[in-house]
Amino acid sequence: MHLVYPAVLSALLFCVGLYGVLARRNAILLLMSVELMLAAVSLNLVAFDVWLRDEAHAGQVFTLFLIALAAAEIGIGLAIVLLVYRERGTSAVDRLRDLRDGPGPAPESAEDRDGRDGPDAATGRGRREPTEKTAP
């Protein structure tokens, strides 16, 4: 087997994934680009394992660990993206700087500490009630 074909395909996949990481602002597309980069690395590991005819098949073993790592990364990443989308209403990466904890306003009354009318007691941020969309 020629090593050039999988190496070129792996490089192209990695470059497409790198472009997606650098150019995209949507968190879901960012995660998909990272998965594309991990797939390129996996392809490279298996190709070099076959080319070197390793007796222990280390490249394939590392690929299995990489697949497990990618599955954990996408699970945790999607959970974080869904929580951010519920809180902020958008999954744009450039707006995530607002998640930084800072000195929040102190609660003024017992109602505010319960989180009914004022900011949330744990985070100091106001809770946003879901708005109903009406058809025109």
Q: Which domains does the chain have, with CATH numbers?
A: 4-95 (1.10.287.3510)
What residue type is assigned to position 69 of the chain?
Answer: L
Biggest alpha carbon–alpha carbon distance for the chain: 73
Q: Of all residues in the chain, what percent carry a pLDDT higher than 70?
A: 70
Confidence band of 93 (pLDDT split at 50, 70, 90): confident
pTM value is 0.67
Q: Which stretches within 1-136 are classed as H helix?
A: 4-23, 27-52, 58-88, 110-114
pLDDT tens, residue by residue, 39-55: 999 999 999 998 988 88
On the question of pLDDT at 98 being above 70, the answer is no
